[in-house]
Structure 1
Amino acid sequence: MKRFIDLAENTPEELAELLALAGRLDRHPEPQALTGKVLGMLFFNPSLRTVASFQAAMGRLGGSSFVITPGAGTWKLEARNGIVMDGDAAEHIREAVPVLASYADVLGIRAFAGGIDLEADLEERKFMEMASICPAPLVNLESAVNHPCQALGDWKTMDDLEVPASGGRFVLSWANHPHALPLAVPAAVVHMAAMRGMDVTVLRPEGYALPDPIMQRARDAAARSGGSVRETDDRKEATEGAHVIYAKSWGSTSHYGRPADDRNLRSNLEHWTVDESWFDNALAEAIFMHCLPVRRNVVVADEVLDGPRSRVLPQARNRMTVQAAILHRLLLGGGR
């Protein structure tokens, strides 16, 4: 493995091996495996779990890390091409990325969607440009429409809980939120559950359908794995027999790049807060998942988040365990 930027770049067998490695490293740590190795991380956007879990994973394997947040103690970076750099940014990504990569054995980059041009975001233009100029192994710490580390951690969480793959019912539900959030987590999670072979339902209100390329990618993965993917706005029908309800908000795709219109649309959707009633038609053992951070009593009610269904804390810990496996494989496992 030479990079980790998309689950789809790995076969199901390779992902299974990676998940097995994550479990083994968690049970039997290798505190000197990456001694002398360096992880660099470039964050264009905020982080809590991603930065902490990667630093912890690298430290537990004996390596070290550095974190760069452009404009916070470092130069501001310019990402646009062909412009006259006479503004606040003192350096361009075309120099910054390869320089940082030269200091590290593996480089991670987080760069959220621009949120203006849906086509550009779906094509991951800015992230893929940085990938093309990065000479070190690259890890996607979240891009415009992907968050593979989150998705892999969620996969492991369901494996740990013995949530069935074949025949397992996974509901990705839009949830209330005051802001239009990126598509990265919902896109990654629906693809992950489809790759896992689950029957996936995207539950969302009118105006929040996931873009066709995201849904088609998930349907293609489901066709290969024996799963299925569909969308609906009918909560009762969507949650019937569900094993997992995974809540996440995202911006209106019908009003993409128009925040005022998006705010007007979501102003009537306060009832899309996940509470215990959402599990009325689910299986008795159904679990609740969310990637965090989460707004209590906006996205999900306290009764669910603090209740026995919630698996958000194991999800968060599994970020560290799967990322340890990713780093181990990138730096010690050879390439293909």
Structure 2
Amino acid sequence: MIRHFLNTQDLSRAELDAVLDEAARLKQSPLGRDLEGRTIALLFFNPSMRTRTSFEIGAWQLGAHAVVLAPGKDAWGIEFEPNAIMDGDAEEHVAEVAQVLSRYCDLIGVRAFPKFRDWAYDREDKVLQAFAQHSRVPVINLETITHPCQELAHALTLREKFGRDLRGKKYLLTWTWHPKPLNTAVANSALTIATRLGMDVTLLCPNPDYLLDPRYIDIGKHNADESGGSFRVTHDIEDGYRGADVVYAKSWGALPYFGAWEGEAPMRAMLKHFIVDEEKMALTNNGLFSHCLPLRRNIKATDGVMDAPYCVAVDEAENRLHVQKAVMKQLIQWQSGAQA
């Protein structure tokens, strides 16, 4: 059976800890030949800076070769619906694409954001799931409706700052303003990993329209029960920030307005006060601040927050490199064991 890396929930807690431990080791000894002769195909249906760079460099540092493709731009457009009559723009079906890449490559990475027209459709994560279905090698989620590589980098960063045991730390996941509705992936992932690690997690969002999908709310509750942490929701800014050890910020679109963003716009325009600023950070317990990046300064967070010593966003971005190397190594080890 092929082990993919689609979500961190697919890993046992022991496997999760092992990947983070290996990432910490690779951070100290970055060069090796663990993946010598291996190849990873990286398919980007959406733009990337950190993900593409860190995967290409990480593969090289371990002796592998990365091939980057942008379907519909420098590669043929792909159809994902089963039984489709392909009389549109797509030139080939994912069934063939995934199988051919499986013959060429040892790993396949996929980044494919939601279409932002219908959340009921987007939440099915059809592009990623189709590659996982048809691939004969492990598939890595490079961000779709979750961002598990970012989760691991975030977790490694918190471990570095607080130690391995994060239980009891007060963690705030806060919505922050942005002029455009954005993907919920990082927020879904932050909620998933923070509750998995036993922290006392608060989700702060402006109103119930900005709640995350019930799937991830339920995962948060389940993880908190299993890990001994807690999870709650608040719409009160001061209540959310007060006493927090970690503030993690992300903007996302209100799910009820997917496909009808003109209806969300007036509500969003009234929410600029959700910016992360020094006044809000002063309410925390000398808390750390982080963000997945990219971040619009003085829109999502002020210059004062981004330039403060408590901002660890760049540390987290660096850790993408190390955790992804650990993921690639682990997937190859699992695949080699399955084929033995």
- Within a 5 Å distance, the mapping from 1:312-323 to structure 2 comes to 312-323=313-324
Pairwise CA distance, 1:214? 1.2
Pairwise CA distance, 1:335? 5.0
Pairwise CA distance, 1:120? 2.9
Retained in 1: the 8 A contact 2:56–2:66? yes
Q: Distance in 2 between matches of 1:109 and 1:102?
A: 17
The aligned residue for residue 309 of structure 2 is: 308
CA distance 1:335–1:119, shift in 2 (3 Å) = farther
| CA offset digits 1:240-297 (Å, max 9, x no partner) | 210111110000123222111122220111111111111122012x111000011111
Q: Percent identity?
A: 36
Where 1:288 maps in the other structure, the secondary structure is strand
Where 1:142 maps in the other structure, the secondary structure is coil
Retained in 2: the 8 A contact 1:131–1:138? yes
The aligned residue for residue 147 of structure 1 is: 147
Q: Distance in 2 between matches of 1:5 and 1:254?
A: 25
Q: Distance in 2 between matches of 1:264 and 1:130?
A: 38
The aligned residue for residue 224 of structure 2 is: 222
TM-score normalised to structure 2 length:
0.94
| CA offset digits 1:165-202 (Å, max 9, x no partner) | 11101101001101111111100110100000000101
Q: Distance in 1 between matches of 2:200 and 2:121?
A: 29
The aligned residue for residue 35 of structure 1 is: 36
Which one of 270, 273, 281 corresponds to residue 271 of structure 1?
273
Q: Distance in 2 between matches of 1:109 and 1:41?
A: 6
The aligned residue for residue 125 of structure 1 is: 126
Retained in 2: the 8 A contact 1:2–1:335? no
The aligned residue for residue 76 of structure 2 is: 75
The aligned residue for residue 104 of structure 1 is: 105
Deviates more, 1:292-301 or 1:95-104: 95-104
Paired AA for residue 202 in structure 1:
L
- Within a 5 Å distance, the mapping from 1:137-286 to structure 2 comes to 137-144=138-145, 146-162=146-162, 165-206=166-207, 207-284=209-286, 286=287
Pairwise CA distance, 1:22? 0.7
The aligned residue for residue 62 of structure 1 is: 63
Q: Distance in 1 between matches of 2:180 and 2:30?
A: 40
Pairwise CA distance, 1:3? 1.8
| CA offset digits 1:90-111 (Å, max 9, x no partner) | 2222222221222110111111
| CA offset digits 1:144-185 (Å, max 9, x no partner) | 2x1111001100000011165111011010011011111111
| CA offset digits 1:60-89 (Å, max 9, x no partner) | 101111011012222222333444433332
Retained in 2: the 8 A contact 1:40–1:101? no
**Number of matched pairs:** 334
TM-score normalised to structure 1 length:
0.95
Q: Distance in 2 between matches of 1:155 and 1:84?
A: 44
The aligned residue for residue 296 of structure 1 is: 297
Q: Distance in 2 between matches of 1:127 and 1:324?
A: 20
Unaligned runs of at least 5 residues, structure 1: none
Q: Distance in 2 between matches of 1:224 and 1:96?
A: 39
Retained in 2: the 8 A contact 1:109–1:142? yes
Retained in 1: the 8 A contact 2:94–2:130? no
Q: Distance in 1 between matches of 2:29 and 2:175?
A: 38
Where 2:273 maps in the other structure, the secondary structure is coil
Retained in 2: the 8 A contact 1:176–1:298? yes
Q: Distance in 2 between matches of 1:165 and 1:109?
A: 30
CA distance 1:321–1:310, shift in 2 (3 Å) = same
Paired AA for residue 152 in structure 2:
L
Retained in 1: the 8 A contact 2:195–2:230? yes
Q: Distance in 1 between matches of 2:56 and 2:172?
A: 31
Pairwise CA distance, 1:310? 0.9
Q: Distance in 1 between matches of 2:62 and 2:149?
A: 18
Question: C-alpha root-mean-square deviation of aligned residues, in Å?
Answer: 1.6
Paired AA for residue 177 in structure 1:
H
